[in-house]
Amino acid sequence: GENVEQHPSTLSVQEGDSAVIKCTYSDSASNYFPWYKQELGKRPQLIIDIRSNVGEKKDQRIAVTLNKTAKHFSLHITETQPEDSAVYFCAVRTSGAGSYQLTFGKGTKLSVIP
Amino acid sequence: SAVISQKPSRDICQRGTSLTIQCQVDSQVTMMFWYRQQPGQSLTLIATANQGSEATYESGFVIDKFPISRPNLTFSTLTVSNMSPEDSSIYLCSVSSGTGLTGELFFGEGSRLTVL
């Protein structure tokens, strides 16, 4: 099955700095790569996603890049704010017969220090 | 995105008992899933709830422990049977928008179970 590695497990940045979280995956047939943000005690919420036919996608302060050859993708948050503090999960979907589920990374706890 | 309601939102249960979690979606969806999130951990897929047929379980999860119902396209239940403290987790219902391969995945608020 798919194996998703996420790094780092924890990340502290000063407010206004950038944060980068990286994920690698094992199955070259994977074709959908979402990122979720989970605030304490709340449900995971989709913040951005990218599909395998795109190399980069940006939404205001958040961007995701995908390198299919190297099988890794990254989340970039610029101008971080205290409200960005949360646990971020990457995920991977692999196409295949009946294979619609996502495999999640172990998560990165981001702390933005005011 | 779909509005997903789960209940109970939290419960404290005694060892050996069973609890059923309900998931209601405000629109018809093809794909519904149940995930488990143990304290401080990532999300692990338990099973895919199939409408009109038996659920499809992931490795490590069995129907006797986690029976699932999916009577229609807007509702599903997950039962955690014969609970032990190791079952203390957040259980999350999720749905996929659009078709399975291209749809985004959205989560309910989760049901936090504590087993004493």
pLDDT tens profile A52-111: 888 999 999 999 999 999 999 999 999 999 999 999 999 998 766 555 678 999 999 999
The answer to whether the CB atoms of A100 and B48 lie below 8 A apart is yes
Question: Could you tell me the pLDDT band of residue B96, with boundaries at 50, 70 and 90?
Answer: confident
> What are the phi and psi torsion angles at A82 (to 5°)?
-55, -35
Mean pLDDT of B38-45: 93
Percent of chain A whose pLDDT exceeds 90? 78
How far is residue B14's CA from residue B7's CA, in Å, rounded to a whole number?
18
Residue A84 phi/psi, 5° resolution? Answer: -80, -10
Q: Considering Cα of A57, then A106, then B38, then B94, what sign does the dihedral take?
A: positive
pLDDT of residue B99: 60
Mean pLDDT over A6-32 rounds to 95
Q: Is A6 exposed, middle or buried (0-12, 13-18, 19+ CB in 10 A)?
A: buried
Name the token pair of B43: 């999300």
B64, pLDDT greater than 60: yes
Which residues of chain A does B100 touch, with a Cβ-Cβ cutoff of 8 Å? 100
Question: What is the percentage of chain B residues whose pLDDT exceeds 90?
Answer: 78
Q: Given this model, what pLDDT does residue B1 score?
A: 72
Sort out which chain B residues have CB atoms less than 8 A from A49's CB and list them: 104
Q: Which pLDDT belongs to residue B65?
A: 97
Mean residue pLDDT across chain B: 92
Which comes out higher in pLDDT, residue B34 or B99? B34
| Residue A95 pLDDT | 66
Subunit contact B105:A45, Cβ cutoff 8 A:
no
- pLDDT the model gives residue A102: 87
What pLDDT sits at residue A31? 87
Chains A and B: how many Cβ contacts under 8 Å? 47
**CB-nearest partner of A104 from B42, B100, B106:** B42
Confidence bin at A40 (pLDDT 50/70/90): very high
Tell me what the pLDDT averaged over chain A comes to: 92
